[in-house]
Amino acid sequence: MTIIFKQLSPTFMAEVSSLDLRTMQDQPSLERLRAGMTEYGVLVFKGQELSFQEQLDFAQRLDGVLHAKTSSSVLVKNRFGNEALTDISNVGADGAILAADDRRRMNGISNRIWHTDASFEDPAGRYSMLFARNIPPVRADTEFADMRAAYDALDDKMKATIDSLHVHHSIAYSRHTMGFDFSPEEKAKLPGATHPLVRVFSDSPRKALYLASHAERVIEWPVPEGRLLLKDLIEHATRPEFLGHHEWALGDLVIWDNRTTMHRARPFDDKAYKRELTRVTTLDLPRQSAVAQAA
């Protein structure tokens, strides 16, 4: 099977030649997609037709164990019956648009600030796979930041300062900064996790900043100084030269590597138009053991 990548942004992102991901089973093709993820960080697949189960099955074939401890799962039972299939939409189980003050909507608004999926878990998220099932008649793009290019652009003094630091990530923290608070019982299910601020992975020698709105504090520094550093680094990493965006069409599947990118949803009138996407995120586990656990 011939797989061609067309680069979409100066430093990352690519559109993949026409494929039917429902039938992609062979290991050489899956390895080619993994290599594309390593090189580009974000891959776009057009014209897909995926049932809920087909999306879950492809995610497991490509990358293994699925993330299910989402913030949405502590608020309400998943309307699809599987917490690994995250409901990225503004509608409820009845198909109606959520009320402006609905807690699910208020929680989801925070997807519009820069973040990386499941950084508040250990193991954290690796690949996220977002599929467009119903899109509004207005632009509702997703924007991405290349965290490897952002790290490369830092000066040597800053690299030396941050290379050995660790950061605690908490979704309760990021939601609180946006005016949404989990109940004590909900918060207890989302304790957070600590990860290196600079990460490097076995499939690539390039280092990446590991940042998110969930990044609450630098473990080795006093809280105020640590938060200033994190704010400065996020501002640096989201400069225009490190960014790319995706304009959604029905049937698009976009996969991104949470270890080497950040992303955010761009705003639209979500009180007037429906937008329904489903996301599957895999966990950052050694791939061989991940596949064995998923089997």
Q: Is the pLDDT of residue 271 over 70?
A: yes
Rounded Cα–Cα distance for residues 223 and 219 (Å): 8
Q: Is the pLDDT of residue 288 over 70?
A: no
| pLDDT, tens digit (0-9, with 9 covering 90-100), for 184-223 | 999 999 999 999 999 998 888 899 999 999 999 999 999 9
Q: Is the pLDDT of residue 295 over 50?
A: no
Q: What is the mean pLDDT of residues 270-275?
A: 97
Question: Which structural domain, as residue segments, surrounds residue 40?
Answer: 5-294
> Cis peptide before 205, with omega less than 30 degrees from 0?
no
Higher pLDDT, 286 or 173: 173
Q: What is the mean pLDDT of residues 121-140?
A: 97
Query: For the chain, what percent of residues have pLDDT higher than 90?
Result: 91
pLDDT value for 241:
98
Q: What is the mean pLDDT of residues 54-74?
A: 93
Rounded Cα–Cα distance for residues 58 and 22 (Å): 7
pLDDT value for 289:
39
The dihedral built from the CA positions of residue 273, 132, 244 and 212, taken in this order, carries a sign that is positive
| pLDDT, tens digit (0-9, with 9 covering 90-100), for 65-74 | 999 988 888 9
Per DSSP, the three-state class of 216 is strand
Contacts of 291 (CB under 8 A, 6+ apart): 60, 64
Model confidence band, residue 290 (pLDDT cutoffs 50, 70, 90): very low
Contacts of 119 (CB under 8 A, 6+ apart): 125, 169, 193, 195, 210, 212, 214, 215, 258
Q: What is the mean pLDDT of residues 109-121?
A: 96
pLDDT value for 155:
98
Q: How many domains does the chain have?
A: 1
Q: What is the mean pLDDT of residues 110-121?
A: 96
| pLDDT, tens digit (0-9, with 9 covering 90-100), for 79-100 | 999 999 999 999 999 999 999 9
Q: Is the pLDDT of residue 128 over 80?
A: yes
| pLDDT, tens digit (0-9, with 9 covering 90-100), for 30-42 | 999 999 999 999 9
Q: What is the mean pLDDT of residues 139-161?
A: 98
pTM: 0.95
Do the Cβ atoms of 285 and 123 come closer than 8 Å?
yes
For the domain that residue 134 is a member of, what is the CATH number?
Answer: 3.60.130.10
pLDDT value for 292:
45
Contacts of 242 (CB under 8 A, 6+ apart): 11, 145, 146, 147, 149, 150, 153
pLDDT value for 71:
86
